[in-house]
Amino acid sequence: MSKIVVIAGFAESLIRFRGDLLVAMRANGHEVAAIAPEDDDSVRKRLAEKGVEYHVVPMARAGLNPFADLRYLLQLSQCLRKIKPDVVLAYTIKPVVYGLPAARLAGIKRRYALITGLGYAFTDAEASFSRNLIKRVASGLYKFGLSFATGLFFQNPDDQKLFKDRGLSSENLPTLVVNGSGVDTDSFPVAPLPEQPSFLFVGRVLRDKGVVEYAEAARMLKPIYPHATFHLVGPMDSNPSGISEEMVSSWEKEGLIQYHGAVSDVKPHIAACSVFVLPSYREGTPRSVLEAMSCARAIVTTDAPGCRETVIDGENGYLVKPRDSADLAKAMGRLAGSRELRERMGRTSRELAEQKYDVHRVNSIMISAMELRG
């Protein structure tokens, strides 16, 4: 039996994205603990129900304050010395960058990183000076953090190639691509398809997620398909790519978008839609798409890193050009005009979710790669 610590940048993600992995580690006979920045009683309670200890190490999620980040590294190392794990798995940028050297300082020999997406800095090919600067800084930080890794997981092959081409990870570091975070197909069962075309976007309200293109596509389609509805679910975000509340309100007043805000349960919204849309510029592997696939929904997403892996173009949905609202509207219009097509593509989505993205398969691969079989 090993003792394992999973380090997260956001407490709730331990439940939503890593909860099944934590349970799988426990099922293989290991002792499991988690570290995140928030003193969240709800997360603590839900992890305890899974048999997982919860520890808090404060972290400045935004910005690069070297003194605050050094404090985070040292406090992580101190916490790890107390827990004394055999294995550490860190995900999201600051836990990777600072968690792996902290684990090395604490004398932990097996140190793994999971790259779940590269975020704001890496999404724009024609980036501004500020975004390019952030990209260079982020690249340097990743290279530093991953120099302490003994294993590295990616959620799509594009990110793996980018890290290799830019020398962000050592050529000798073992790497493995897994199919995202997976989806529990039992928790997201097939839902009956609504009669009328209804489109759904779930995600943070960011330009880089393609929210503006989604609204523009709705504007193009409304006159042609007046009965179609276009729904937006997700929180506003202070990210530099964030969309203002005023802009979202203007879309609502125009009758383009129905905005539902942040929700604790996306299942009713997926069940109420007939097509799931994510025109993102870059992802790790979008969990929201996998959940919609599991519920047997056709998918429209971009031919972009992390997104393109979820769709076989013309089979379970359509791949469109990033940042191209006309191409997006064209694909959405095909599905709006044919219930039979929505049904057929939805069935294929469910098959792919079961065959490729089932969370138990994904977790089994990670557990084997970390040599954590019971």
Least confident of 113-122, 143-152, 169-178, 245-254: 113-122
Q: Which of 233, 235, 247, 223 is nearest to 199 (CA)?
A: 233
Residue 317 to residue 183: CA distance in whole angstroms: 18
Q: Which of 338, 302, 297, 329 is nearest to 318 (CA)?
A: 302
Question: Is there a contact between 237 and 208 (Cβ–Cβ < 8 Å)?
Answer: no
The whole-chain average pLDDT of the chain stands at 94
Burial 16-45 (b: 16+ CB within 10 A, else e): ebbbbbbbbbbebebbbbbbbbbebeebbe
Tokens 């439940």, located at residue: 15
Q: What is the pLDDT confidence band of residue 127, given thresholds at 50, 70 and 90?
A: low
Q: Which of 197, 201, 252 is nearest to 231 (CA)?
A: 201
Q: Which residues contact 264 (CB under 8 A, 6 or more apart)?
A: none
Looking at residue 242, what DSSP letter applies? B
The pLDDT tens digits for 275-292 are 999 999 999 999 999 999
Q: Which stretches within 205-338 are classed as H helix?
A: 211-221, 245-254, 267-272, 287-294, 325-336
Domains in the chain, CATH or no CATH each: 3-182+358-369 (3.40.50.2000), 198-355 (3.40.50.2000)
Rg of the chain on CA atoms, in Å: 21
